[in-house]
Amino acid sequence: MERELTVTAEYLYLPICVGAAETKVEIFSAEAGGQKKRYEFMVPVAEAGTEASAKEAGNGSGQQQEHSALAGSYHADYYAEVPVRELLGKRLIVRADAPDAFLQAIDNDKKRAPKQTERPVIHFTAETGWTNDPNGLIYADGVYHFYFQYNPFHTVWNNMSWGHATSRDLLHWSWEDSVMFPDESGTMFSGCAVANERELLGLPKEAILFYYTAAGGSNEWSKGVEFTQKIAYSLDGGKTLVKLEEPCLPTLFEENRDPKVYWHEETQAYVMALFLKGNDYGIFRSEDLKHWEQTDHFTLEDAWECPDFFQLATPEGETCWFFWTADGFYYPGEFDGYHFRTDGVRHHGYVNTLPYAAQTYVGTAGRTVMIPWLRMENDGRHFTGAYGIPVELSCIKKEEGFLLLQMPVRELMEQARPVEQSAIEENGRIHYIQSGAKKALVFEIKAQQGYQGHFVLNINGSRIEYVPESGKLVVEEEKYQAGCEHQKLLFLADDRILEVFFDDGMRMGAFVLKNTSVSLETSLEGIAEYAVYEVE
């Protein structure tokens, strides 16, 4: 089946029936030399069944009445938005092995905004669809750009594209157009952003450059193509991306992926960290951002994909390089611009496995800011997945060596409003139930010196317990090891997300709560100091 339409507005809206079987949808534009394939997506399409009655509905007549009736008859949970402004005035041909009602429901002439749904206040989530790894994080001209792995066409993984959001405070995000979709080179896997400060690749200084993995063979359009590392650029402040055709790195191993590029000041070259295979990573160097030479290949215990690489300083001024991998495993070491040297000891940045594939920002001079993906399951809403609160990284040096610390960015407490202690403290307990507009909750406690009891909290209907003596952390029935004798704890609750930071970020964990309504109840026993804040 196919449908033809002329592009008269900036977006094409595809109806999404969550849970239905996926069907390949191809979109072509009519060109002077024939048809040019523009898009290929796997879309969940509802079965036929209402078309006949729909054709007879309405008071009009002819083709327009039939199109309107068929479009109105098709069930859509939401509409996926595809920017098509560069195709304005062109004739499109949409082909799919799908009921005619689905094809007629594809819209171009009116905005199909998603229905408003309850969601976190300061943790970013997509308006609709599936999200995973953070990509291309860059701070430029006062704006934090946040790109991410995105499937606009379902609430499950597929059609890997790059979504886009922006913020000026790292807490409140504005939804932007998606910037890259699958093509004949593959689907758009993870990557990073680089400022073009040295005016390379024949592009102006103002250009933003993006390195990403084209995952060849991961869609039918790219069948038989291998994974390669490619470049895209933006000349309009990150709003739209233009892909360069030629890869900057050919296939090295079957699924090498996730480039992270940095400028190494000491050796005056760009450095790329790349996942190669298994537990192996590579270091590559370039002076022109186009031609890359491999200078290192190393294996890290249990490490897997999504590398990040950064240098941090202790309060005393000692510096250390940290190599970070998808599960939050990190490896302190030394880096000379060519080779990374580590003792191989694996450290755990997280107490559990919900946070994943975190990436640091470029362009945030003087601070290292990181955001993880939270691998939350779909809970019936039309989006899947969320992102952790951005954290600021620092490090300390102890007997066991350099250790990484992560705490919520300073903007969180700058915007936090204290809750009056007298309004929530009663008979040795804290009772807090949020009223009015939905807000996020921050709860800080400092334990009494030498306290050997345990702390039990009820947050959003979920039971949380921490035992300083053993280091045991329990969230509902799940048990974790968070480390012993932590004296300071920070809890951040937002919708169904709970993040816990221990002793100024020595350890952290992210968890899923029972309820979306924010509440707190706990005993004051063992607490020397506490504070409760709300963040809008």
Active site residues: 133, 305
Q: Which of 128, 144, 148 is nearest to 387 (CA)?
A: 148
Q: Are 522 and 447 in contact (CB under 8 A)?
A: no
Note the residue count of the chain.
536
What phi, psi does 307 have (nearest 5°)?
Answer: -75, 150
Q: How far apart are CA 41 and CA 258, in angstroms?
A: 22
What is the SS3 string spanning 41-76? EEEECCCCCCHHHHHCCCCCCHHHHHHHHHHHHCCC
For the record, the structure tokens of 486 come out as 């932590």
CB of 181 closer than 8 Å to CB of 214: no
Distances (CA, A) of 499 to 375, 406, 415, 454: 13, 12, 18, 19
140 φ/ψ angles, rounded to the nearest 5 degrees: -145, 130
Instruction: State how far the Cα of 293 lies from the Cα of 284, in Å rounded to an integer.
Output: 5
Alpha-carbon span 255 to 259, nearest angstrom = 12
Rounded-to-integer distance, Cα 204 and Cα 332, Å:
36
> How many CA atoms, within 13 angstroms, populate the side-chain half-sphere of residue 221?
23
Biggest CA–CA distance in the chain, Å, is: 82
Per the CB < 8 A criterion, the answer to whether 453 and 466 are in contact is no
